[in-house]
Amino acid sequence: MTRRNATAIGFIAVLLWALLALFTVGSAPTPPLLLNALTFAVGGSLGMIWVTATRSWPALRKTPWTVYAFGTLGLFGYHALYFSALRLAPPAEAGLIAYLWPLLIVLFSGLLPGERLGALHILGAMVAFAGAALIVLRGGADFDSAALPGLVLALLCALTWSGYSVLSRRLGHVPTESVAVFCVATAILSALAHLLFEHPLWPTGLIGWGSVLALGLGPVGLAFYVWDIGVKRGDIQLLGTASYAAPLLSTLALIAAGVTQAGLTLLIAAGLIAGGAGLAAWGSARMTRTPAR
């Protein structure tokens, strides 16, 4: 598989994550940890079917338990921090800080062996971040010191996912099928946490259960498998910057569903995000043409 193809596969995750908000709205009133357990159970089952079809069980048995611990903590930790942050802080501000993870991926990836961080990567990340900020903060919110704990958790959320993604690059020898085990273990941990901290409220009706199934198959299922391929074999810096398309595409999905309306802010944000991704892509292309000495 070429680096370009792996990058394109990784970007599928961004497209799937764009539907996360829409399907989450449809799954109400299911509490976060229970929703986590249900959706990761679907995503894990999807992976186990793939593992069985490809006869990859021997490879999974050879994978160290430390890798499984790392992957499980990455998936479970990110979602636990994310949902907690949105409970303790205004969603706009917490969401903005949580969406620092693409920028952090671009910056952290420069520390990896064989990777170089150029000026265009940094500039592109900052321009794209400005576009994401316009989307997340378009409604505005007054700062409240009581929200500080939630904002700190949102920052930890961004650090968790960016760290997970960048460190996954160092696990390039680990088969992507191992993500299935991460998902199953995350579902089990989420179920246990739900029993300890939440009151059960199950999805209601066809829309509720359909949204849970869609989440498990896409944003909380297939997305993690293709993202694993992208960060291990693709251009991780370009993927990190291109991930800023997620809040834009998520907004477009909500507009299509009639949840929100389009406006000038959206158009400006679209230009910034596209421009930022273009700058990062240009930077990667220039580095490919000009090898390090």
pTM: predicted TM-score of the whole model, two decimal places = 0.81
The distance in angstroms from the start CA to the end CA of the chain is: 26
Are the C-beta atoms of residues 27 and 213 closer than 8 Å to each other? no
pLDDT at residue 142 greater than cutoff 60: no
Phi, psi of 112 (to 5 degrees): -75, 150
Percent of the chain with pLDDT over 90: 32
pLDDT for 182: 94
pLDDT class for 265, splitting at 50, 70, 90? confident
DSSP labels, 122-138: HHHHHHHHHHHHHHHTT
Q: How many structural domains does the chain have?
A: 1
Give, in order, the Cα–Cα distances in Å from 88 to each of 95, 153, 203, 271: 12, 9, 24, 32
Rg from Cα positions in the chain: 19
Phi, psi of 200 (to 5 degrees): -65, 125
Q: pLDDT digit string (tens) for 97-120?
A: 887 888 788 778 777 777 777 888
Of 170, 96, 108, 136, the closest CA to residue 265 belongs to 136
DSSP labels, 191-250: HHHHHHH-------HHHHHHHHHHHHHIIIIIHHHHHHHHHHHS-HHHHHHHTTHHHHHH
What is the distance between the alpha carbons of residues 125 and 107, in angstroms, rounded to a whole number? 9
pLDDT at residue 7 greater than cutoff 50: yes
pLDDT for 291: 53
Q: What is the mean pLDDT of the chain?
A: 84
DSSP at 19: T
What is residue 90's three-state secondary structure? Answer: coil
pLDDT at residue 275 greater than cutoff 60: yes
What is the distance between the alpha carbons of residues 77 and 209, in angstroms, rounded to a whole number? 24
pLDDT at residue 50 greater than cutoff 80: yes
What is the distance between the alpha carbons of residues 94 and 92, in angstroms, rounded to a whole number? 6
Mean pLDDT, range 169-175, rounded to an integer = 79
What is residue 110's three-state secondary structure? Answer: coil
Mean pLDDT, range 52-69, rounded to an integer = 90
Domain of 41, in residue numbers: 3-289
What is the distance between the alpha carbons of residues 175 and 213, in angstroms, rounded to a whole number? 25
Percent of the chain with pLDDT over 70: 92
